[in-house]
Amino acid sequence: MKTAELFEHKTVFSLEVFPPKPDTDEKVIYDTLNALSDISPDFISVTYGAGGGKNGLKTIQIASDIQNRYGVESVAHLPCTGLTRAQAAAILDSLQAHGIENVLALRGDRREDSAETGDFCHASDLISFIKEHYDFNIIAACYPEVHPESISAVDDLKWLRHKVECGADHLITQLFLDNRYFMEFREKACIAGIDVPIEAGIMPVTNKRQIERMVKLCGVQLPKKFVRVLEKYEHNETALRDAGIAYAIDQITDLIAEGVDGIHLYTMNNPYVAQKIFEAVESLISVSCCTAR
Ligand code: FAD
């Protein structure tokens, strides 16, 4: 099923996983998927390391297993930086052969030390390429706090609309910790004529190193309330995990009340955290599917 169709019926609840690192036992990801598929999410997406390489094969295999072994709709991420058209086509052909219908088309992060190669400058180029040659449902990324490379919020929104005009059917946001950024972004996107579903990307923060990395990489603002939680519990692993879960539940509860199209949970391959959050918001999702649409 194409993910864009899911939004016609309900508030979507989806999950994201990443392939195991090369030195990790493959079994771990399948234990994770076993637990995550019990939640019956609307779909599970699988990240892909930019620049291609062997890790991409794992993305395809895991996305295929999610779809064909666990019976959950799957989405394969595909960052295009460094790829030629022929390489992109080979990956897309393989996804198609595995029966995967959904691709999250991305540019990927540019490494400062590498000269740009490949046939695609931006995600929009990959989206146009997919639209021209394939029948995938296309998802794209968006940034409530503006992409770090953008010269302005207006410019970022202009290019986001371009991605939708090129063929993106559904958007997923970068993580944010203050819902006000999402609400303002959603309103501006609507004014800009962006009319595809926008899922809110929520990352339950369960360790300090993880959030420090995210802040550096994505330019996400830390609200005072969040910093207080972090400072109070940073030396107690269990308390910080539970506080991170509670914070994410609070964010999701508020977003559902505001009529969000969907929640995309960055699980960090932690099924315990995903299960706890799902249990807490399951009834809210089913109520909103009966009333909000
Ligand atoms: P683009 O849409 O190309 O945007 C990048 C910048 O260029 C923005 O500032 C934008 O305003 C501007 N821009 C866009 N189009 C144009 C244009 N046509 N002309 C001029 N300027 C333009 N990375 C991975 O490597 N693997 C993953 O699996 C992965 N998954 C992700 C999932 C989600 C939900 C999100 C939000 C991000 C993910 N990323 C992933 C990170 C992503 O690759 C980076 O954020 C990257 O820096 C930008 O990707 P993009 O697709 O948004 O790029």
Q: What are phi and psi of 171, to 5 degrees?
A: -120, 150
Domains in the chain: ranges and CATH: 3-288 (3.20.20.220)
Is 16 considered catalytic here? Answer: yes
pLDDT of residue 287: 72
Bridge partners, 262 (sequence order)? 12, 199
pLDDT at 50: 67
pTM over 0.85: yes
What are the residue ranges in the chain where pLDDT is below 50? 291-293
**174 CB within 6 A, ligand 1:** yes
The answer to whether the CB of 162 is under 6 A from ligand 1 is yes
Of 122, 125, 156, 181, the one to substitute when testing ligand 1's pocket (max ligand atoms within 8 A of C-beta) is: 122
Ligand 1 atom at minimal distance to the Cα of residue 146 = 9
* Torsions phi, psi for 68 (to 5 deg): -95, -25
Q: What is the pLDDT of residue 113?
A: 59
Ligand 1 centroid–CA 143 distance in Å is: 9
- State if residue 109 touches ligand 1 by the CB under 6 angstroms criterion: yes
Tell me if 77 CB under 6 Å of ligand 1: yes
What pLDDT score was predicted for residue 293?
A: 41
pLDDT of residue 182: 98
pLDDT of residue 289: 56
Q: What is the pLDDT of residue 112?
A: 65
